[in-house]
A = this chain, B = another copy of it.
């Protein structure tokens, strides 16, 4: 094994070291007054309470699935019981990624509020450092985990076998198949974290408002309200931990998908034919270095005015800096590692084609962000149309938002379709996968930019609760506003990369399952296409309904505390924040079980009952509808949100000015509330859903190949040599 492979986990460790150093830097910052520390402690305790409850329930899930996986793998010559260990590792790493995010977010929020007393520059520094701790933690864990598990698997299963023999290929298939377990663990925890977090944050939000503001008549964010802390915890749980686990899973899935296709690629190189496997890992690993470099660009001058443009510009500098540096490094890596030509399933491509595909991925990512911003930003045509339609009432506001959301699928789908076609033209299926890997290379930076928003948001809440001077809130508001934009564009980016990743996984599935193709014209495939397309609809239905029902549980718990704790309204009795948090946690985790189960079990049912080709149709249907429903819901929700926010500064409709508390504003609040579960619960789950179903399919592919007696993965094992010698191997050949 080439030494370059060892560079991958080393760079992962580098990312984690950076995380450790910067975490300590944040902790050393001033956490403000005792009051501020108290409030932020409540939030941190609540967040921990959520994690514990989540881990307890997911622990059972992980153990059961690990046992099932081990049993299934044991019965199959192309897998191995150790896939269950890989699965557990993936789940643990994913949970750790969420934990790091939660820890740093609950440390930085209060310190950002304190820093905002000094200057915008200082506040940005603290909140963005908090974001980058999470970003590099997630990326570092992913690169370390994937890299070291691969190396261990290689050393154990493959090392010592002569390269380019059937035995070697068979062993490589097995190693990669086991690695898929790592991704399965990561992605399934991601789904539960995203859905559970999404339900939690919106349920706590609505629940706290309904009892506190409406029934008890106390202000928003009042510490006497037992659900207030849950509400603030929700921001950390949904927007920080959920997103961290989500991006950890995505990052791993994308690199893995490229590795699976890379394993199938015929390449005569200096790495024993393993250059196409090494490339995505190395790109991800150097992405860590340049994400760290990128963070150095994110600075605003102490003399800069307090406005969003300065902050946005600083973030853009960091983002584009890391993207351009990583792209340049990728050119070097491709040039140095890859041979002139390779081929995958009969499709020849060159190293320059691979570079072209990476470029396509970067362009798709950039266009997605721009288009998403257009559809959700204040002052642009879509949001303005919703504002105008708010003047005629709640219903027209809702209709307007739904129309915007549906319309917003048009350009992104054309870009995505162009990206699929273009990356495939450049480098075949490997091109589609590496395009996604290129997009995801600077995940650390993306996540830093995404995570600083909720930190600033929380800082603003703490400032409000502790009655800090108005200037503090002004500065955190500027950071929060920029965070809203980056959150929306981040979602556009996430869905595009998920689509490409799902397709790469889909292509990998075809290879491992040993089928020639997936003909829609086949009645079974067609029927499965419909069933697959329906999954995102039923999943969304369950998720958005769960928000409503979980909010009701929260309402009941708060009412109980108001009734039974003496002195709670006078501020002398301490509300049981943890109970409220636990209730909300349990309700949300309970409600997330069914959608999660659907995502995991439905591919099993289709696969085992109708065979691998039908499962391919199922995945295609689910991917198409999942991408569309994700875009529709995310963008409708984002547009409604900003339409409502526009009323804060006042909007002009037919020559008349309208502000907060006007009738059109009330209509816009309805739209925003409808949009909440869209954009924070079901919408962002779509990208995990489609990837998770593809990974589940990939994991069961060798078993399906056995049962359905297809070519039993021969497509991947009979890697043809460039000399066109066909090496056949009996499927019963098992490595001793």
Give the CA-CA distance A250 to B402 in the complex, in Å.
28
Please, which residue of chain B has its CB at the minimum distance from the CB of A517? B519
Q: Chain A, 188-213, contact with B by CB distance < 8 Å: what is the 0/1 string?
A: 00000000000000000000001000
Asked whether B432 lies within 8 Å of A628 as measured between CB atoms, the reply is no
Q: Is A321 an interface residue (CB 8 A)?
A: no
Among B389, B517, B538, B548, the residue within 8 A (CB) of A548 is B389
Give the CA-CA distance A548 to B429 in the complex, in Å.
44
Contacts A409-B537, A507-B521 given; indicate if A398 touches B531 (C-beta within 8 A): no
Q: Is A510 an interface residue (CB 8 A)?
A: yes
**Which of A406, A421, A538, A541 has the most chain B CB atoms inside 10 A of its CB?**
A406
Of A20-28, A134-142, A287-295, A411-419, the stretch lying at the interface with chain B is A411-419
Q: Chain A, 490-530, contact with B by CB distance < 8 Å: what is the 0/1 string?
A: 00000000010001001100100000011111111111111
Among B409, B518, B548, the residue within 8 A (CB) of A396 is B548
Q: Is A42 an interface residue (CB 8 A)?
A: no
Q: Is A465 an interface residue (CB 8 A)?
A: no
Asked whether A407 lies within 8 Å of B523 as measured between CB atoms, the reply is no
Please, which residue of chain B has its CB at the minimum distance from the CB of A423? B523
Give the CA-CA distance A537 to B414 in the complex, in Å.
13
Q: Chain A, 591-623, contact with B by CB distance < 8 Å: what is the 0/1 string?
A: 000000000000000000000000011001100
Among B499, B534, B674, the residue within 8 A (CB) of A399 is B674
Asked whether B625 lies within 8 Å of A625 as measured between CB atoms, the reply is yes
Give the CA-CA distance A521 to B420 in the complex, in Å.
11
CB of A542, distance to nearest CB on chain B (Å): 8
Give the CA-CA distance A9 to B674 in the complex, in Å.
53
Q: Is A540 an interface residue (CB 8 A)?
A: yes
Among B524, B621, B674, the residue within 8 A (CB) of A421 is B524
Give the CA-CA distance A392 to B206 in the complex, in Å.
11
Give the CA-CA distance A533 to B499 in the complex, in Å.
14
Among B407, B534, B673, the residue within 8 A (CB) of A410 is B534
Contacts A409-B537, A520-B620, A544-B402 given; indicate if A210 touches B392 (C-beta within 8 A): yes
List of B residues within 8 angstroms of A210 by Cβ: 392
Q: Is A684 an interface residue (CB 8 A)?
A: no
Give the CA-CA distance A530 to B399 in the complex, in Å.
24
Give the CA-CA distance A564 to B529 in the complex, in Å.
58
**Which of A393, A521, A524 has the most chain B CB atoms inside 10 A of its CB?**
A521
Among B420, B518, B621, the residue within 8 A (CB) of A527 is B420
Contacts A409-B538, A624-B624 given; indicate if A403 touches B544 (C-beta within 8 A): yes
List of B residues within 8 angstroms of A519 by Cβ: 517-520
Please, which residue of chain B has its CB at the minimum distance from the CB of A633? B402
Q: Is A117 an interface residue (CB 8 A)?
A: no
Give the CA-CA distance A410 to B539 in the complex, in Å.
10
Q: Is A111 an interface residue (CB 8 A)?
A: no
Give the CA-CA distance A506 to B669 in the complex, in Å.
44
Among B406, B518, B530, B670, the residue within 8 A (CB) of A398 is B670
Asked whether B533 lies within 8 Å of A625 as measured between CB atoms, the reply is yes
Among B393, B407, B545, the residue within 8 A (CB) of A403 is B545
Q: Is A632 an interface residue (CB 8 A)?
A: yes
Give the CA-CA distance A547 to B522 in the complex, in Å.
39
List of B residues within 8 angstroms of A540 by Cβ: 406
Asked whether A398 lies within 8 Å of B527 as measured between CB atoms, the reply is no
List of B residues within 8 angstroms of A392 by Cβ: 210
List of B residues within 8 angstroms of A664 by Cβ: none
CB proximity to B under 8 Å, residues A30-87 = none
Give the CA-CA distance A438 to B386 in the complex, in Å.
45
Give the CA-CA distance A432 to B521 in the complex, in Å.
12
Q: Is A394 an interface residue (CB 8 A)?
A: yes
Give the CA-CA distance A526 to B424 in the complex, in Å.
11
List of B residues within 8 angstroms of A12 by Cβ: none
CB of A514, distance to nearest CB on chain B (Å): 13
**Which of A399, A429, A542 has the most chain B CB atoms inside 10 A of its CB?**
A399
Asked whether A674 lies within 8 Å of B398 as measured between CB atoms, the reply is yes
Q: Is A1 an interface residue (CB 8 A)?
A: no
Asked whether B529 lies within 8 Å of A421 as measured between CB atoms, the reply is no
Asked whether B414 lies within 8 Å of A531 as measured between CB atoms, the reply is yes
Please, which residue of chain B has its CB at the minimum distance from the CB of A410? B538
List of B residues within 8 angstroms of A510 by Cβ: 521
Q: Is A735 an interface residue (CB 8 A)?
A: no
**Which of A519, A520, A671 has the most chain B CB atoms inside 10 A of its CB?**
A520
Which residues in A have some Cβ–Cβ distance to B below 8 Å?
210, 389, 392-396, 398-400, 402-407, 409-410, 413-414, 416-418, 420-421, 424-425, 429, 432, 499, 503, 506-507, 510, 517-531, 533-534, 537-538, 540-542, 544-545, 547-548, 616-617, 620-621, 624-625, 627-628, 632, 669-674, 677
A selection of 12 A-B contacts at a CB cut-off of 8 Å is A395-B669, A402-B674, A405-B541, A406-B541, A407-B538, A409-B534, A410-B534, A416-B530, A421-B523, A499-B530, A503-B526, A530-B627
What would 5 more interface pairs be, CB under 8 Å, given A421-B524, A424-B523, A520-B617?
A399-B544, A406-B537, A510-B521, A518-B521, A537-B632
